[in-house]
Amino acid sequence: MVLLRKGAEAELYQESWYGLNIVRKVRKVKTYRHPKLDLKIRKSRTGREAQIMHEAKGSGVPTPLIFMVDMTSTTIIMQYVAGSRVKDLLHFLSSIERLRLCSQIGQLIGRLHRNRIIHGDLTTSNMILSKTGKLFFIDFGLSEHSEELEKRGVDLLLMKRAFYSTHYSFAFECFKAITEGYAVEMGEEACKNVIERVNKISKRGRYESKR
């Protein structure tokens, strides 16, 4: 059993399980929050993650296979995907490769949205490019079902924020490529509406010089 990653919400262990190479995702008790709140959050997110991760496959978005869900220990056992996180990868790609990858990210987000799935935590840490060249989305703990423009807007806003905070030197071109990929799946009109909403949401915050 190897600790693969200690995320904010859960710990990920890589291990062998009945001969399969798996990831054990454990949502541990968070002692900083009230026990009642803690239990509610862990249970609802574990259930939701397993359910929606499974549904995402049906929309044509690669996600790890789920082998087992244990609600008492809020644990999910899923397929281990060998590859690199997009966060660690972006820097090493050529400009063309990077834009191609971003456009692909946009398409996958579009597929989720078209199938009434909101990811809820789109960052480059939550995407894995597998060794076989397939792009996987992971970490569906904050996901939900919705077709609302608002939810789609928030989803893309978080993606945009992730680029501007972590990959700021090429954030502009990357997000543009994501938008173009997104439009391929959603259609130009729908894409335009979502982007308009993204701008509207960011202006809702306390300070915005262009208001």
Partner 1 sequence: MICLGIESTAHTFGIGLVSSSGKIIVDINDTYQPPPGKGIHPREAAQHHCEVAPKVLKQALQKSKIELEKIDAIAFSVGPGLGPSLRTGATVARALAVWLEKPLIPIHHAIGHIELASLTTGAKDPLVILVSGGHTSILAFGDGYWRVFGETQDITLGNLLDMLAREAKFSSPGGSVIESLAHKGEKYLDLPYVVKGNDVSYSGLLTAASKMYKAGSKLEDVCYSVQEVSFAMLSEAAERALAHTEKKAVLLTGGVAANKRLQQMLKIISKEHQADLFIVPKIYSGDCGAQIAWTGILACQSSIKVNVDESFIKSKFRLDKVFIPWR
- The residues assigned a catalytic role are 121
Comparing CB distances to partner 1, the nearer of 33 and 91 is 33
| Smallest gap from residue 53 Cβ to partner 1 (A) | 17
| Smallest gap from residue 207 Cβ to partner 1 (A) | 5
Comparing CB distances to partner 1, the nearer of 59 and 202 is 202
Give the integer Cα–Cα distance in Å for 169 and 128: 21
* 127-130 and 75-79 strand pairing: unpaired
Give the integer Cα–Cα distance in Å for 30 and 41: 10
Closest CA to 84 of 53, 119, 127, 123: 127
Torsion sign, CA atoms 134, 140, 142, 148:
positive
Closest CA to 195 of 174, 178, 211: 178
3-state DSSP call for residue 139?
Answer: coil
Residues that bind partner 1 (CB under 8 A): 6-9, 30-34, 36-37, 40-41, 120-123, 125, 142, 154, 158, 161-162, 164-166, 168-169, 201, 204-209, 211
Comparing CB distances to partner 1, the nearer of 75 and 123 is 123
User: Contact 104/59 with Cβ under 8 angstroms?
Assistant: no
Comparing CB distances to partner 1, the nearer of 18 and 168 is 168
Comparing CB distances to partner 1, the nearer of 132 and 209 is 209
Give the integer Cα–Cα distance in Å for 71 and 66: 14
| Smallest gap from residue 174 Cβ to partner 1 (A) | 15
Give the chain's radius of gyration (CA, Å): 17
| Smallest gap from residue 35 Cβ to partner 1 (A) | 9
| Smallest gap from residue 112 Cβ to partner 1 (A) | 15
Token pair 């391929």 in the structure block, residue: 184
